[in-house]
Amino acid sequence: MRNSEFTIKKNQRIAAGMNEMILQVPETPEDEEMLRNIRPGQFINIRIEGLYLRRPISICDWDAGAGTITIVYKTVGRGTEAMGLMETGETLDILWPLGNGYALPQAGQEAERRTRRPLLIGGGAGVPPMVSLCRRMIEAGLQPTVILGFRSEEDAYYQDRFEAMGARTLITAEDGSIGQQGFVTDAMRTLIDSDGACAYDSVYACGPEPMLRAICETAPETIPGWFSFEERMGCGFGACMGCSCETKYGSKRICKDGPVLERSEIIW
């Protein structure tokens, strides 16, 4: 973990209530090292003038060559509203990278052979971490399928980003205004054919907890899964025990031992 000052390169609206911010990482060897070692699913914790606690936002993607990190945030309260008003050139005090992130299957391992066809599911503000996860999986030679769930067409974003990476991308909208009408679990059901053969062998998800739970209940019991959880945090780096949750392997801190939990340890 480092405390760095990032510079805003871009801050723009990409869907109803959703902003994308591109941040320039300082050009120091330490920061560049950090940038190379980010894992999909990790987050940054942003200090915002006038607010006491930092605001945790998940990392969408990064570009080690350009020295940038992209975050996508939903304007839901004072912190994200203030972020929405920030302009190019302004700087942010950031603790990063935080959390465990998604474990990518290591090449050559048994787990890697069993999880060649991962299913990535992002719901609403849970879409961003799927971007870098999908990119890294494609770079590793895996064939991810992506499901993006939104309420309505005006909330939808990034479909093209996943398609451009070459991932099969399914969209659902609760009101049917775009893609398949319904929830991400409705799209999941289309990935199992009439013989019961499943088009995916592992599942990675981020989004609201009821969605995560529904995904867990819909995915075949035998496949592994990794789910990213949200909780109100104090510090973001494991010191305050504010965001603890109980798992089958004991209590875990969402900020440090998570936010990604393994399917088999989750107590719903």
Q: Is 217 in the site for other proteins (CB under 8 A)?
A: no
Quote the CA–CA distance of 183 and 122 in Å, as a whole number.
11
Minimum distance from residue 78 beta carbon to other proteins (Å):
8
Minimum distance from residue 145 beta carbon to other proteins (Å):
32
Structure token digits, residue 68? 């940038």
Quote the CA–CA distance of 39 and 71 in Å, as a whole number.
14
Minimum distance from residue 165 beta carbon to other proteins (Å):
34
Binding residue for other proteins, selected from 81, 106, 239, 264, defined by CB under 8 A: 239
Residues 20/60, Cβ–Cβ less than 8 Å = yes
Q: Is 208 in the site for other proteins (CB under 8 A)?
A: no
Minimum distance from residue 230 beta carbon to other proteins (Å):
10
Question: Which is closer to other proteins, CB of 43 or CB of 158?
Answer: 43
Question: Which is closer to other proteins, CB of 3 or CB of 88?
Answer: 3
Segment interacting with other proteins (CB under 8 A) among 51-59, 100-108, 130-138, 198-206: 51-59
> 10 Å Cβ neighbour count for 96?
24
Segment interacting with other proteins (CB under 8 A) among 59-67, 146-154, 181-189, 237-245: 237-245
Which residues contact other proteins (rule: CB under 8 A)? Answer: 1, 3, 47, 51-54, 79, 95, 231-235, 237-246, 251, 256
